Amino acid sequence: MIRLIDVYKDYEGYEAVKGISIEVKEGELYVLLGPSGCGKSTTLRLINRMVERSSGDIFVEGEHVDSIQVETLRKKMGYVIQSTGLFPHMDVAANIATVPHLLKWDEKRIRERNREMLELVGLEPEVYLKKLPRELSGGEAQRVGVARALAADPHILLMDEPFGAVDPISRLRLQKEFKEIQKKLKKTVIFVTHDVEEALLLGDRICIMRDGIVVQEGTPEQVILKPEDQFVEDFFGKEGALSLLARFKAREYKEELKVQGEPLADDASLKEALSEMILRGEDRVALNSGSISLAAIMKLIRGEHT
Ligand SMILES: Nc1ncnc2c1ncn2[C@@H]1O[C@H](COP(=O)(O)OP(=O)(O)O)[C@@H](O)[C@H]1O
Ligand SMILES: [Mg+2]
């Protein structure tokens, strides 16, 4: 779907990307994770040619990026950035309609699409369509940024620390909502972040970068449970396993056995289930039907679940 082969980027003598080869599959949410300055944003921008590579090849949906007109290439891809990049003098409706306008959709279709997109990201159209960006909270602005990127129904989404600037509580909500949206839409997403929890929560696969190279690539379980070197292990830190548990829903590891006590919320994660076990001093807590056990969590951590 998207393939980078031995790609380099040299900014006037400074090598920001040094031979990256990755392949992102259709419908996958692929995370570029690493410390600030390791070349994540550069790698993302090489794909839509906001930055031109120094050498190597990039293919998008089977076509070499050099053989596609830049405007055509960018229209294939929604792009979401941290500061949202909303046009300040345009209202929410006009912002969302940016690409549909470029594509010359008719007004009726654009109006319907605006509403559909706002509903998708959890904002009431009547309330938000006519607002200006400065009248939005950080979280609302990010939602509009996501709505705008999705408006023309691109196959591909490039997201650069999209939730980085919002407060921690709104961020977690946005992450969970985005995960649900992605489950429905199944876009091919490349998602840049330096936030370990975010990467583990959202990524189907995670590519860990350092100083312009890839140090490890794998599923969240693989990178946490089998770090290939000290850098990766240190990057995730001692709480990496807990962050990994945040990714899974307790109900997916449910056992039939019923136990006493207040059942966990239906969407509780394994991390929350473990926290409840510690608080209650039990090795099993109730779910709405059945229960979740410490043993099941340990099995997952040992890689024994199927
Ligand atoms: N336009 C530019 N000109 C010169 N150096 C740049 C430019 N953009 C980024 N860099 C440098 O390239 C490196 C990687 O940057 P970037 O890709 O933005 O990293 P990340 O997104 O991982 O924080 C950094 O050292 C940064 O200072
Ligand atoms: Mg960056």
Instruction: Please tell me the residue having the least CA distance from ligand 1 atom 12.
Output: 16
> Which ligand places an atom closest to the C-alpha of 16?
1
CB-ligand 1 contact for 42 (6 Å cutoff): yes
Spatial CB neighbours of 131, under 8 Å, sequence gap ≥ 6: 91, 92
Query: What pLDDT, on a 0 to 100 scale, did the predictor assign at position 170?
Result: 80
Query: What pLDDT, on a 0 to 100 scale, did the predictor assign at position 176?
Result: 86
Residue 50 alpha carbon to ligand 2 centre in Å = 13
Kindly report the length of the chain: 306
CB-ligand 1 contact for 194 (6 Å cutoff): no
Query: What pLDDT, on a 0 to 100 scale, did the predictor assign at position 16?
Result: 96
Cα 53 from Cα 220, distance rounded (Å): 29
Q: H-helix or E-strand containing 276? A: helix 270-280
| C-alpha closest to that of 288 among 275, 259, 180 | 259
Q: H-helix or E-strand containing 41? A: helix 40-47
In which residue are the tokens 């190597």 written?
56
Query: What pLDDT, on a 0 to 100 scale, did the predictor assign at position 305?
Result: 60
| C-alpha closest to that of 297 among 260, 257, 249, 256 | 249
Residues of the chain with CATH 3.40.50.300: 2-238
CB-ligand 1 contact for 269 (6 Å cutoff): no
Instruction: Please tell me the residue having the least CA distance from ligand 1 atom 16.
Output: 39
pLDDT tens over the chain, length 306 residues: 999 999 999 999 999 999 999 999 999 999 999 999 999 999 999 999 999 999 999 999 999 999 999 989 988 898 888 776 889 999 999 999 998 998 899 999 999 999 999 998 889 999 999 999 999 988 899 889 989 988 988 999 999 998 887 888 888 888 888 898 899 889 999 999 999 999 999 999 999 999 999 999 999 999 998 999 999 999 998 888 888 998 899 999 999 999 999 999 988 999 999 999 999 999 999 999 899 999 999 988 877 765
Query: What pLDDT, on a 0 to 100 scale, did the predictor assign at position 106?
Result: 93
* Top mutation candidate among 32, 42, 50 for ligand 1, by most atoms within 8 Å of CB: 42
Query: What pLDDT, on a 0 to 100 scale, did the predictor assign at position 241?
Result: 87
Among the four given CATH numbers 1.25.40.10, 3.40.50.300, 3.30.70.260, 1.10.8.10, the one describing domain 2-238: 3.40.50.300
Residue 214 in tokens: 């890839």
Q: How many CB atoms lie within 10 A of CB 209?
A: 23
